[in-house]
Structures are given as C-alpha cells and as structure tokens.
Amino acid sequence: MKTWLFLAGAIALGAKAGETSPRLSPARTPLAAGLTDVRSLVPDIAEDIHYATSDNFTGAPVDGYRAPKCFLRTAAAEALARVEATLRKDGYRLRVWDCYRPARAVTAFVRWAGDLSDTRTKAAHYPNLGKDKLLGEYIAPISGHSRGATVDLTLMRCDDARCAPLDMGTDFDFFDPRAHTDDPGISAAQRVNRQRLLHAMAAEGFVNYAPEWWHYSLPSAAAADTIYDVPVE
C-alpha cells in the first residue's frame, strides 16, 4: 500500500501546470493491463533488457523488472512484430532494450537522479552533463513507457543468421545531445542507420522522441490518461 500511495503522489507531482495527471491503473497482471509478451508474436526477437540487470544508468537492477521481458499493449506488440517481419526481408533485425516500464521503475529513476552523490555510471551514460541536469529532458517523473506502447531499440544487420548492431553514434541511454536523432555531429553512416530505423518504425505508425534516437511510441495503442505498475515478470 505504501508503494502504491508513493507512486500516486509522484504522478501528481509530475504533472505540469494545467495538465491532468494520468490515472494509475489498478491492474495487477499483464492480462488485466492489456499487455502482450512480444515473444508470443516473434519468439526469436532479440531482447537485451538492460533494466533487469545492473547494466544500466542506475548501476543496479531496477525496481519492477523481475525478468528480462518485453511487454507492450497488444496493438503495439503487433505493430512491432510487423516492423520486424519487414526488416528481415532486407537482412535486418531489431534488438529491443526496453518496452513497457512499470511506474515504480520510473519512480526509482527519479530517486536515483536526485542522489547527486552517486555518479558511478557518469562516464558511460552522461559524461558531458552534471547529474543535476538529467531530470526533465532525459528522466521524467512520468514516462510514456508506463502506458505500454513505447519501446527502446536499435537495428542489427544480419548475414547467415549472424547479426551485428549497426553503428548509431551512441549507446543506449546516452544522455547527451549526440543522442538526438538529428544531431548534426554524427557521421553520414550513423545518420543513414538512424534514418533506416526511423523509416521502418514510422511505416507502422511509431513516432520517434527526438532527443533519443532509440525511443519510439505508438500513440494509438495506449490511453493517454492511464499508466500501469504491473511488474515485468
């Protein structure tokens, strides 16, 4: 109960002036939240769910991630499966880093961002920014991921069932202007790779978040006024 009340308070504080804060769904299972395991549609999709491990910007497994799985609202999962199928025809595949994100995980991110003494991951994730600059553009108290229709991912080039990630110019969760999808400082090849991902996702209605080349949402697949806190397990 304390966790639930804390999340509700964080949601209310996270709403901008004049906005209505999203409703925290009472759903307790993926089925009740309308979430689908993407692997039920694409059994061999490449998943590398960083927040279920210590390999992420917090330096520890994140609250709410009890298994390295990708859940999305069913319409978003189906759209992602279509993107994957189309890419495979041309020798490419997706690698998924994050999908639905429990609200408690977002709260954990905000709590981490507020601890300015913990800079263990600065070199890998925000070398050019002070940690006090991360809240807002990079870490928000309410995330579209918690609506279940947002995914973080990259592209791989595959040959004879062996795949290698394309050079996108930065790693995942690199908090820096270089991660902006249209950053002018990236190479021509990196720009081509980002655009290939952008066009593949846009073909199924996914919209890119401009400050993060890896971040895509399918607005039609989720209710804008509802977020979820079902653990990933």
Within a domain: 233: no
Domain span at residue 63 reads: 2-227
Q: Name the domain count of the chain.
A: 1
The set of residues, in sequence order, having a beta carbon less than 8 Å from that of 138 and lying 6+ positions away, is: 126, 175, 211
Q: Known catalytic residue: 47?
A: no
Mean pLDDT over the full length of the chain: 92
Please say whether the beta carbons of 110 and 141 come within 8 A.
Answer: yes
pLDDT, residue 15, reads: 41
Query: Is 132 part of any domain?
Result: yes
Q: In this predicted model, what pLDDT tens digit does every residue of 187-211 receive, in sequence order?
A: 999 999 999 999 999 999 999 999 9
**Closest by Cα among 144, 155, 139, 133 to 45:** 155
On the question of pLDDT at 218 being above 50, the answer is yes
Looking at residue 2, what is its pLDDT?
A: 41
Q: Residue 118 region, left (φ>0) first, then alpha (ψ -120 to 50), else beta?
A: beta
Residue 20 pLDDT: 61
- In whole angstroms, give the CA distance from residue 85 to residue 93: 8
User: Residue 155 is part of a domain; what is its CATH number?
Assistant: 3.30.1380.10
Residue 17 has pLDDT above 80, yes or no: no
Reported as a single tens digit per residue, the pLDDT across 21-51 is 899 999 999 999 999 999 999 999 999 999 9
User: Residue 161's pLDDT band (boundaries 50, 70, 90)?
Assistant: confident
| Rg of the chain over all Cα atoms, to the nearest angstrom | 17
- Residue 232 is assigned to a structural domain of this protein: no
Residue 14's pLDDT is 43
- Side chain identity, residue 76: A
Q: How far apart are CA 81 and CA 129, in angstroms?
A: 36
Tell how far CA 103 is from the center of its chain.
13
Is 181 domain-assigned? yes
Q: pLDDT value at position 105? A: 98
- Summarised one tens digit per residue, pLDDT across range 110-154 is 999 999 999 999 999 999 999 999 998 899 899 999 999 999 999
- The answer to the question of residue 167 being in a domain is yes
User: What is the per-residue pLDDT for 1?
Assistant: 39
Residue 161's closest CA among 85, 84, 88? 88
Specify burial of residue 2 (Cβ count, 10 A radius: 0-12, 13-18, 19+). exposed
Active-site annotation holder among 137, 204, 212, 233: 212
pLDDT over 60 (residue 13) = no
- Which structure tokens are listed for 66? 């009890």
pTM for this one? 0.91
